[in-house]
Structures are given as structure tokens and as C-alpha cells.
Structure 1
Amino acid sequence: MSDEFETSGRTFADGHDSAWTALDKSDDDMSSSGGGSLHYYNSSTVSTSHGFLNVSTHLGETKWTGYDPFKREYVNMKKTYKSGNVNGWNKFCFTGGIVEIDAIMPGDPQAGGLWPAMWILGNLGRATYEGSTNKIWPWSQAKCNRELQRGQEISGCSGVNHYGLEGGVGRGSTEIDVIEIMPGEPGFLPSTQPKVERPYAAMTLQVAPGVTVNRPNSGQRPVLVGSDGTGGHAPTEPQTWYPDLAYRGNTTLNPFFYGTYLGKTKPEEPVTRTEDEAYQADAVGAMHQMKEAHFAKVHTYRVEWRPGRPGGEGEEEDKGRIDWYVKDTEEGARGRPGGYPYKKKEKKDVKNSDYNSPQTPSPTGWTHAFTILGSSLSITGADIPREPSYLIFNTAVSSTWGFPFDVPPTCKKCYDCSNPECACALPPGFCDSLQGGKASMLIDSVRVYQEPGMENVGCDPVGMPTREFIKGHEYRYMRPTPFVDKGPLKDVTGGGGECEDDAGCGGSGKCVSAGSVSFWTPSNSGRTVCKCPSDRVGPHCRAVRYFDDSPGAYDYELDTGWFLRRIAVPYLPWPVVGVLVAVGALFVASVGTTLKKKRMTEGVYRGVARGEATPMFKRGAWEVFDQRVSEMKRTAGGRSTNTNF
């Protein structure tokens, strides 16, 4: 699979694209683990131009009516920053493989405040929808854990197979952060070995269950060897952290974020957890040194994700692994359209020993920055993710990410660039970086490769289904504002955008009278709109219709029969099953005949000859077949073709 984003003018609002959806909602983070978000996600901030997917952030006021959990009523709300979040939730998912993203980072590398990220999340959780991630994120433990059973909603301790899920298999929504960028004022950060300064890229696996005893202290490296108290020092115990993590190049363990404790919730929070349901999520991560060049020209970021596999006869279990890579700028790499908007900063003198650069540059230009082995997670019982997952590209604005930590007592702690009184609480240069389109994350291409014969695409794969669980809990995946959403996602349609001629319809659509497209529009209205061919979608037919041609778990259930697979087959011998089916068929036929005779008799008594009786059970279609995404471009060597969606 690949998307090269070469067609300009693509839009990604709900229903516009068959592979991606840009959000239209506030990033609320109102829970105790919230991220201090200051932005409103607006789909208009995501588009394609100059061969890039453009995810922009800018100043812009958004007002809406929302629920205030503290006041317990609907109130007028406002945010002063607009940004973009585009993702493939429930459209394009994959399990394992190689992900390569060519991108230019947004904003000023030496001005904090922006939080650009490219990440992978399990499809059972929808990013920014807290109801969908509570007790789901970032679980990755298939086996039963009795102590934490109540904190993992889909626990391996449950033998029940509701919603098509396999009984006895724990599920969740694990997070793999390809990169999260921390810009800001330079200066080497404490406890980093080798020394790393802002801007840096965080490369992280966020996973549960986490370490609960003798955790490392935030801002300090783990103490691996304890002290017996001699020499006047207090005795200490070794701290527990994941062994055998590998860092290379200008990369170090991330001592500033070891994870999130999801404790008992407060009454005003939008989700609920009791004390028995609290759990620790760990961030197993690294920090990789970034440069100004990453904000000026295209660089390639790569994750190789190999899910674990159970061992077969005579084979050992493969616990899986995740590897992160960064590629240096290639000769002739594309730059930011219009040029780099900032003057090159003077670099202070540093000793060569301050960096841990390889002695000999890689001939391929790749830096193999960070590795997590599945065996490293054995200390908690967590697994390398096996969930069908989707890609997310977003830029957040958060008071907890790159904003001043200590502000003067006289400072009014507010974050509005248009209010002079807030200047003391804002990062230097932050407001300027949002002017003139400079805060745009530009994605040149996204490519997913999988090994031939091991392809696993789709959001509802056999063995790891998600469709029925999501369908059974749709409210968790919808915006909380009443009457706004009829479902988590709108149907993807093509056409309807206003046009003047065929050129405005993506080169393949037709510009026609609105009356010829819609029954409800008068033919003499004078409006002309795009009409798309069957293989194109979007208001102006600029995106390829992308669909999954491989059967998912739900389709497999329909083909094989739910009753036989889920109830009869596991517990009864086949001869008994055959007898039960035959008896059931005779019973239904007998009841149907009796009802028919009874109703016809009633009709005669009333002087009306009735027709055939209505069937006893009238079962509508479960749902229109969803356009799950696959169309994996398979070639020898596992490489995908560079074909637009």
C-alpha cells in the first residue's frame, strides 16, 4: 500500500476519502491523564498540495456548545488554535510490516509548543475518543492476568466470545509512536547518554500492563544497581525497567516519560474507572537527535513491526520485535515549498564526545536508532502488538509539551497569542511560528510493505476481529454532542462538489447539472456539480475508491454460520448437530404451516381471504458492507508499488 498524495485539492472530511478521515472535534483530554490540549481539530486544515499531504496548525478561534463535566451542563466553549488530525481508523488497517513515511516537520525547531506526531494505534481504540480507549489503551496482553483482569476490558481471563471476539484472548489498542517531535530552545538535556537536546524525536511503544514496583523516577535514568547503605548513603534497591533495549546513533533512553498511571477517575471525568480497574501503562521509549534539516527537507522515518507468533510443532515461539530507523537527507531531497522560513541558527561549539554518532556513516544513509525485543516485555507479561492498527498524522498544541514549566507568579497563566497578558506563559517564538503557513507538517508519501505470503491487511482480520465490537459500542466512537453523528463514520461518497467544467472534477469526473444527480434538486437550479465514475470518491472526484477485497472476520462468520461455529461445533458431536438441525427445520416448518392455516381460517371468518402468513422472523441486513481497505500492492520482495490510492 502506498499513498503519494500527488493529486492536489484532495479533502479528508468525514465521507470524503476511502482511506483517511480528518477529525472535526475538540481534542478534549479532560481525564486525569489528559494532555493539556489547546487546539480544535478542523478537517479544513488537512489537504493536498505541491505533492504533499499538508497537516497545518494556525491561529483561529473555534466556538461550540459542549458538555462541561465540572458544571454538569452544556456551555459555550472556545479554543484559539486550529490543527489537523488525519487517520485511517476503521478504513485502512494492517498488522505488522514495514512503515516508511517521507515527511518535513512543522514550525520553528527552536520554538516549543507544537506537538507533531506520526503514530500507529490499534483499531479497537479511536484516537481522541476517550470512551473508546478507556481500559482498552494501550493493552497488549493476550494471556489471563487475574490481578489486572478488571482493568483490561477484553481480558484473557474471560472465556466468553461476545462480539465475535475469541474467548480467552486478551485484546487492546497498543500505541507505536513512529516519532513525536519536541521542539524548543537548544541545550543538552540532563540524564541523556549520549547527550541530546531539543529538537528531538521520541520513539515509543506505549503498552500495558506496565511495571508497578520500583519504577524509575521521571527525569532520571533507571538505577540498575542498588546500594547497601555503606559510605553514608541510604540503602536503595535496583529499579525495574525493560532489559536489552538497543540505542544507536544520536539516540538515548527517554528519561522524561516512563508512562501513564490510569487511576481511579473523578466524578467529573468523561470515563469511569474504579480502584480495582486502575492500571499502569508504560512508555518504552527513546530520544533521537533532530536537526534543522528535518524541518526544511524531506527525511524518511521507518518502523519495522514484527508481531509475535506462537511456535508450531518443533518451532520456538517468536516473541516479535519493533525497530525504528531514520534516514539522512538524500541529495536532491524535496524541500519545503517556498523555502525554509527561518534563518539558520549558529551552532555552539560542542565536543565530538558529546554526540554518539557512528564512527563510519552508514553507506545507505539509514540510522538504526532503537530496538525493542519481545523478550524485553516479558518482565510484565506484555506482548509486542498483534492488533490490526491504523496510521495517524497530527499536530497538537499542548501546555504540557514545550511550554514554559516555571512562570513568574505575576504571570497570567493563559495561552492565547492574541492576548498580550498571556505572552509570559507562551514559548518564545511560538506565536510567530503559526503565521503564514509555517506550521505545516508535510507528508510526501506513506508506504506499507509486508512480506510475501504474510500479508495481513484489514481492520477486521480473521483471528483478531474488531468490527462487531465497534458495532456493539458505537457510542464510544462518536462525538458526544447530541444529534451530530448518526454513526462513527459517514458513508464514503463521490461527487456533489460545485464545479464550472470537467477540469474541476479531478480529471475523470464530469461537471453536470445538479438536477441530473439529485432527485431533490430542480433541473433548472443552474447549479453544476461533479459526478464521479465508480472508481473515484470525494466531492471533486480527486481520490481513488479504495476497498478491501479480502474477507474479514465478520464475512467469515456469515459464510461458515455463526451457530455452528460458536455453539454447536465446539461442544457437540457432528451426528448430534445434524439431528438438531433437522429437528429445528421440521419444527419451523410445522409452526409456519400451523400459522398459515390459522390466519387463512381467521380471514374466512371475517369475510376476507388472506394470503400467505408473514414470516415469523424478519431479519434485516446487519449493515451495508463497509469498505474496509486493503488493495495491498504485492510484488516480489514485499515491496509495494508507488500507486496513489
Structure 2
Amino acid sequence: NDGYLHWFLDDELVFKLNGTSIVEKGLGTGISSEPSYIIMNTAVSKQWGFPKCPDNCPCKKYNCNTKDWSAKCGFSSGFCDMLTSSKQNHSQPGVEYKINYVRVWQDPNDPKQKVGCSTPERPTRRWIEGHQELYMQEGDSKPLKGLQRGRGRCGSNGNGKEGEESSSSSLSCGGSHRGTCTVGGVCECKEGWTGPHCLAHDGRDPTPYDEPDSLADVGFTPPSYFPAALVVGLSLCVVILIGALVAKRRKIAKAGYRPIPNRPPARKPVRGHFA
């Protein structure tokens, strides 16, 4: 349940680390909430470290990118040739590693873990919006350009049938399961894929830590309560204003004046004959 890390070499287990040993020691430090890169070090070998220093070798320098024998003699036999063969002779590939997959996840219910690139502790989006000039080159209108979905140029077999591709451009839109090349010569991405040539997953962040901007972001905090004296004073002012209006109307009525009606009186029809 605590996870594990297993290293295999030629389908044989070389090294393993269970997460239980880490959990038992405790996670005292906080998990990084900043955008990070993952660098996979695949330098796994059956023999760790350097071999015993050979005779007549000083073993003071270890450098494969040199013609000096004294700087390379401390390595295992063939080690430098493995690293440099691809640079010197393209027909013979050098060392290559393959990573099947890397799975990284975070628990959205754990307050120590944050999902997203703009967390409350480090509001990256707001910082960039407030310092856009630091993230723009000459000619840019904004730091981050919008994500283009499809419309990348691709080949066509010229038969006029939309969705078909020639063999030379079958991968120009990510292959048949990611996108298709339209008759107009542009890529059209299928569901779940994005980018000009449909090469990227159309993923979304399910946990919106980056909330919309509000007045509180500029330092304005409305009062949570009104003082009792202020409430009583406002109530007295309203009562006095209403009392003054009522007294004024009574004074006008007592003096014999009648208020002007809002509408003129209706005229009675005139009966009679006209010559």
C-alpha cells in the first residue's frame, strides 16, 4: 500500500525499495508544490563503482572524451567505447536505455500534496501575470501562447478522400489512433489528443487549486460585522427623516393647500348640437 520502486535488468530484479521503509521513518519535509522535472537515471549496472586500478595507470582522471590513455585507463574495458561509438560511427549505435513507463500521482485529499502548477502557496499564474515582461521575448504579445489543437500541416495522397493519408505522412498526425490528415492538408485530432499534430494528451487538472481572482487578492477585506453604535445611529437617521416628511405633509394640509394631482382631471363630454 505504501508503493515500491523496482529496478530490472534483462528481466531480472536488480534492486528494490519498498515505500514502507520510508513511511515508517516519517515524511518530515513537505512535498514540493512547484512545477518540477523528473530526470530518470537509468545507469543500472551489475557491477557498481569503478574497478580496481590497473597496473601502470595513475587513476587520477576519468574522462572518456579524450585521447589521453592515462585519463581512460581507470574505466572498465570497453566502457568508453560503448559511450563514444555512436558519436564516432553512426552505423554502430552506442549505449541506449529504454523506460517502459513512469507513473506519478498525488493524493488530492492529502493537504501536503497539491495537484497543479499554481498552488495557493506558490501562485505561479498570478506572479507571471504581474511580471509578464520577465517571460516574454521581443515580438511576443503574452507569455504563454494558446494551445493549438490540430491544424498542423500534413501530407495527402491526393485522392480527394478526407481522412486518408499517404504512407509517407501516416504519422504526421500522430498515427491513425490520434488524428487524421484532412483533404485540406491539415491535422484533425481525435478525442483525447491535442497539439498541432495531435501528439499530446488532452489532459485536464481535476483539482482546481488556482481559484479565480477576487477583491481579496488586492488587499480589500469587507468588514465581517457592523458596530452596534453604527447600526443604532443609522436607524435613528432613517426614523428622523421619515418623521420630517410626514410632519411637512401635515403642515401643508392644515394650511388649506391641496397637493397637485399627478394626472389632470378627466373632462366631461359636452352635449349639444353644433350648427
TM-score band by shorter chain is 0.3 to 0.5
Q: Which has the higher contact order (CA 8 A, sep 6+)?
A: 1
User: Which structure has the greater CA radius of gyration?
Assistant: 2
- How does the TM-score come out when normalised to structure 2? 0.47
More strand, by proportion: 1
- How does the TM-score come out when normalised to structure 1? 0.23
